Structure 1
C-alpha cells in the first residue's frame, strides 16, 4: 500500500537508499544528494509503497518522476498508479521500455535529450591521454606549471570555505546570473551544509596560496559509478576546471569505473563542453505519458 505524498525528509534517507539500490538503472536525478539539494526548488515529495518510492515535483507545476525500486519484477499492468494514467518525466530509457511492453498501446514515449546523463570512463579522464584529450591535457599542464597548487579531499571542516568560494563565484557571474544559477546556488548550500548527514558524498578542493579556487562535490551512485553534482572554479586561473576534474578523479575516483557528469539541460554551451570530454556512453531518459 502506498503512503500519502509528503515532503522529502532526512528521516526517510535510509529507506530510500535501500529502494535505490534495487533499481536496475541508476541515473543522476535519483541520487539522494541530488533530491535533497533540489527538493525545495522543485517542491519534491515522495510516497513509499511496498516495493517502490514514487516521486513528484510540485513546482512550478505538479509532475511525476519515475518510481524508484525493482522495475523488472513488477506486474505494471496491475499498478494502480499507472492504471490511473498520467505523465512522467526523467524516466530512464529501460523503464520506459518496460512500461511500453507491459501496457501495449497505452504508453506514449518522447525523447528527452536535455536530460540524458553524460557518462565517462574514470581511467580516461584521470589520464587524459591521446589526441582526443590533447586540449584538456594542455590546459591541465598550464595550470600545474603556472600555479603553486595543493589538492585536498573535501571534508566537513571545509564547508565554510566552499560556501565562501561559492559566494565569490556568484558575485563574479552576477552579470549573467539568472534564476537557474540562483537556484543552483541554493542547492549547493543545502547539500554542503548537510555534508555529515548525506551518505556517499565525497569531493575535492584545489587551493593556490592557501585560498580555495576550485571544488567538486560528488556522490557514489553505486560501487562502480560516481556522479559529480557540482564543480566550480574561480575566475582568472587558466585550466582550473581541467585541473579540479582530473585531480579529483586521480585522487578519489580510482575505485570507480565510470563518472556521471549529469545533464546539459538543453544548454548548447554546456552540451558542447560535456561532449568535449568524450563521453563513453549516455544514460538516456524519456518523457512518458500513460493513458488511463
Structure 2
C-alpha cells in the first residue's frame, strides 16, 4: 500500500514514505544536502513538509516565515504543473543544476529564469584536505587539532551507534544549554536523528576525553557515494579544539571513494559564512530559486 499520494494531493512526511521516496533521491548527482530522506524528514516540523508524486516527479511542499514554497528534487516536468503549484505557493526553492539542465527547454520556452540562492549553497570540501590539513592554508586548523591532542592526551573515538548514542545525546544537551533560542536551532532535528538512527543511512563518530563524550558528528553518503553530507556536528565548547578535531577525525574515517565533504549552507549568517570559508571550500553545491512574481 502506497503512503505517498498522487498530485494534487499532499500528505505530511512520515517514516512510512521512506521506501517510496528513496528511489527518487538516492541517485541524484548534485549532492544537495536537503535531498535525502533524513534531510527532509528530520526538518519536517520546521518547514511543514508535505509530499506528493506527479508521474515520476517528486514534489515537496513547505512553509517558512509565512511563505509557502515547493521543491522538486528530480526529473523532467512540464510548465503546467509549475503554473499549478505557483497558484498556491510563493516560491520554488532548492532547484539543482541537474534539474535545470533536464528542464532547460521548458524553462526557456516559459521565460522562467531561476536566480542563484547563495544563502543556500552547500559548501564542498575535498576529503583529503580536511583529513590532512596540510599546507599553509590549513595552518590555523592544524594548530587547533594539535592543541586538542596536547591538552587532552587521553582521548578516543568510537563509532556513533546504539552503544554510544546516549553519549552523543549528553553532548547535544550540553551544546543546547548555551543557545539563547534553542527553537531556532537544529536541536530538535539532531535529537530525533539520534532517536531514530535505525531509520536512516547515516554514520558518525563520538569523541571522548578520558571517558567523557565531548563531540559527535553524523553524516550520510550522497551523489552515489561520492559526497559525505554532514548533517549534524555538536561539541562541548569548554573543550578547546573539540569542533576542529571531530571534523578532522571524521574526514580521516571516510573511505577513499568519498571525494568531497558537504558541510551544508550558511543560511546567510555572516559569522557562519566566515567560519565555513576558513576551511577553504573547493566549490559549492549551487541551488536556485524562482519567486512567484518572477514568472
For the criterion TM > 0.5, the same-fold answer is yes
Q: Contact between 1:225 and 1:256, CA under 8 Å: does it hold in 2?
A: yes
Q: Alpha-carbon deviation of 1:79? A: 4.7
| Structure (1 or 2) with the greater helix fraction | 1
Residue of structure 1 equivalent to 2:196: 194
Question: For this pair of structures, how many residues does the alignment match?
Answer: 282
Corresponding residue of 2:17: 12
Q: Does 1:102 align with 2:68?
A: no
Match status 1:218 vs 2:229:
no
For 1:244 and 1:101, the matched residues in 2 are separated by: 45
Q: TM-score, normalised by structure 2?
A: 0.88
CA distance in 2, matches of 1:252, 1:156: 20
The verdict on how the C-alpha distance between 1:11 and 1:271 changes in structure 2, with shifts beyond 3 A counting, is same
Whether 1:121 and 2:126 are equivalent positions in the alignment is yes
Please give the residue correspondences for 1:248-263 in structure 2 after superposition, counting only pairs within 5 Å: 248-263=250-265
User: Could you list the per-position Cα deviations for residues 177-216 of structure 1 after superposition, in whole angstroms to 9, with x for gaps in the alignment?
Assistant: 35422xx111111111000111x20010100111110000
- SS of 1:278's equivalent in the other structure is coil
Supply the distance in 2 between the matched residues of 1:105 and 1:151 (Cα, whole angstroms).
54
Describe the SS at the equivalent of 1:245.
helix
> 1:44 and 2:49 equivalent?
yes
Q: After alignment, is 56-65 or 17-26 more displaced?
A: 56-65
Is contact 2:30–2:96 with CA below 8 Å preserved after alignment?
A: yes
Cα separation, 2, equivalents of 1:40 and 1:65: 15
Unpaired segments ≥5 residues, structure 1: none
Note if 1:92 corresponds to 2:93.
no
Structure 2: runs of 5+ lacking an equivalent:
1-5
Q: CA deviation at 1:95?
A: 2.6
2:71 aligned with 1:63: no
How high is the TM-score relative to the length of structure 1? 0.89
Match of 2:288 in 1: 286
CA contact (8 A) 2:73 2:95 kept: no
Q: CA deviation at 1:62?
A: 5.2
User: Relative to structure 1, is the Cα distance of residues 253 and 238 closer, same or farther in structure 2, using a 3 angstrom cutoff?
Assistant: farther
Q: 1:168: which partner in 2?
A: 174
Q: Is the 8 A contact 1:64 1:89 kept in 2?
A: yes
